[in-house]
Each structure stands twice: as C-alpha cells, then as structure tokens.
Amino acid sequence: MPIALYALTAGAFGIGVTEFVIMGLLLEVSTDLGVSIATAGLLISGYALGVVAGAPVLTAATSRWPRKTILLALMAIFTLGNAACALAPSYGLLMGARVLTALAHGTFFGVGSVVATGLVAPDRKASAIAVMFTGLTVANILGVPFGTWLGQEFGWRATFWAVAAVGVVALAVIAWLVPRDTAPVEAQDWRDDVRAIARRPVLLGLTSTVLGFAGVFVVFTYIAPALTRITGFAEGAVSPILLIFGGGLIVGNLIGGRLADRNLVATIFGTLAVLAAVLGLMTFALHQKVAAVAFIGLLGAAGFATVAPLQMWVLEKADGAGQSLASSFNIAAFNLGNALGAWVGGMVIDHGPGLAWAPLVAAVFPLAAVLTVALAVWLETRRPHPALATVGGEC
C-alpha cells in the first residue's frame, strides 16, 4: 500500500477519536457545564446528525475542488472545531462546535475513499478503503481509552486540545504525502451527481448500509448494561472487554476489504449473513462469560467486515459521476444506522422483550440487508446498463 494511504488513515484516526471519546467523558462534561448526563449525551446525537446532514451538503458544495484541497480544508475544519470544543464556555456552544466538527466527518471519509481507491491498482481498491478505515478502528482501541483517561485526569477540555493536535499532524501529513490531483477538475452539474445517487443499485446499497449498522448498534449501544446485568461482569471489566471488540474491528475491517477485492458481491452477502448469525447466537452467548467475551470480538469483526464491501459497492454503482457524493452519503448512512439501532435497542429495552433479547431483534436488520442486496443484484441482471438503473428509468 502506498504511504499516502496512511496519511488518510491518520485523518481517520483523529475523526474517530473525536466522535467516540465523548462517551467516556459525559460525567465530566455534565458536571462542568451544569447539565444532566442525559443532556450531555445529546452531544453524541448532535454529532451524528451533523454527519448525516453535512456529508452530502459539503461534498456537493466542494465538488469542483481538487480532492486534495478538499481533504486539507476538511482537516482544517476538524482542527478548528475541536479547538472550539475545548474553549466552549457553555453547553450550547459546545454542541455547536461538535456539529461543526461533524461536518468534516462524512465528507472526509467519502472523498477519502475515492482518493484511496485512486492510489492503488484496481484489484486492491476495497483493501485500500479498509486501510483508511483502520484509522477509525484504531481510534476505538487506543485513542478513545487514552482520551478518556486524559479527560478524567486533566479535565475534558484537555482531551479536545489533544484531538486538535492530532488534527494538525493529520493536516501536515496529508499536505506532504497525498499527491495532487493530476487530472483537471471538470465542471459538473450537481444534477448529474443527484442522478448518480438516484440509481437503484446505489439507493439499495445505502439502505443495506443503514440496516447492517443498525443491527450492530442495537446491541453495541447497550453493551455495558448487557455485560453487567445479563452476563454478570463487574463494571470495571467492561472497558477491557471492549478492547476485544476493538481488536475485532481491525481484523474484520481488513479481512472484509481483502475478500471484497476477490469477489465483491459474495463478500457483501457473506459478511451480512455472518453478522446476522453472530447477533442471533449472541442472545444465548451473553449468559456465559467466556462465550460473551468471544462474541464481543466476533461482533466487532462481523460488523466492520461489512464496511469496505458496502463502501465499494456504492462507489462502483455510482459509476464515475457523483462517486464522492455517493461515498459521502454512505458514510451518512452508517451514522443513520447507528442512530436507528440505538433507538430500536432502547425500544426493545423499555417496551419489551427486554435487554436480553436485543441481539435477536438486532439480527433482523442484517437479514433485511441481505434481502436488499439480493434485490439490487436481481435488478442489475434485469438492467445491466447503469444508465437504465435510475429510479423510474425505463428503456
């Protein structure tokens, strides 16, 4: 893999830390700013909604820019946003700074995926996407625990200053290592981008992304109470167990990319089916400690094994025009799946059948994603030419 790809990995690492580290600092933020823990928790939702809204809008707004320029501008927004978080004197301004930072998230991964695939041979494209997303997985294993410790020892603002410093480093290495665009930037009608997104295979790919990650987050959002109340672990054991989940993220991410390079469609079907099986069996594994730990790792591996294949599917079906926008929409779809999964998990807990059955309910989502991909493949066989695969398109 070219070294420029690891510059994108560095940016992905910083973005991953800033997205997830707030989960470990909710108590410190709520105490310092005088809000409830539930209100502080909305900083997570605000960030996710910022990704969903910002990814397509910012990508469309910068569509005529050279891609390296876009990445540099996004890392500048990311760095300034985290500095604003560190300086925020009130909850409202902190929320605004979090949303500002989130605007860079979806477009960075969307445009970065396109840049990553352009740095490697055609048979290594999915692996290149997986390497970039490794920054996100490493953020969960190393960055988030360190950021949480830093915030607890020196105040939550110190964590955001540290992440802003990561942004400066990422900005420098992207400027140094990522090559400039060699082809001239063509003026492109935004309607062409929208038409690319409106193709049935792209829409069905986005739907599969939402469904797959909704299944993961029905369980993962509430994994701490599941491990303590169902499995019987002490609260202090949760963080070390989540390191197993993080290790699974890295392994699954890289394996999914490698397999997708060999056979994209089979990998999508296989990874989603495995994810459904892991979630279904996890219903029973949570009642035994060793099995529960093993399935935490399997959940991370199965969940992130779907990332590179689904991202590659959307890129391929966008077929040139609108690739950056389609890729950014898919990042927004991941975050929408996160929000949907958390909501469904809460409904299962509050209104039945209860926390113990959340994994079984979660398994329905990747199964629905398998059916969605099957529909997309079937439509592809009926309409082999991409121009005929638009919504409502007819010969």
Residue 97 pLDDT = 93
Residue 320 pLDDT = 61
Per-residue pLDDT of the chain (395 residues; tens, 9 = 90+): 678 888 888 888 888 888 878 877 777 888 899 888 667 777 877 888 888 888 778 877 887 788 888 899 999 999 999 999 999 999 999 999 998 888 888 788 888 888 888 888 887 888 888 888 888 778 877 787 788 788 888 989 999 999 999 999 999 988 988 888 654 444 455 566 667 677 888 888 889 999 998 999 888 878 878 888 899 888 778 778 878 888 888 889 889 888 988 899 999 999 999 999 999 999 999 999 999 999 999 999 999 899 889 888 887 887 665 677 777 788 888 888 887 887 888 888 878 788 899 999 999 999 999 999 999 888 877 765 544 444 444 43
Q: List domains and CATH numbers for the chain.
A: 1-178 (1.20.1250.20), 188-386 (1.20.1250.20)
Please give the Cα distance from 297 to 283 (Å, whole number): 15
Residue 388 pLDDT = 42
Residue 314 pLDDT = 84
pTM of the full predicted structure? 0.76
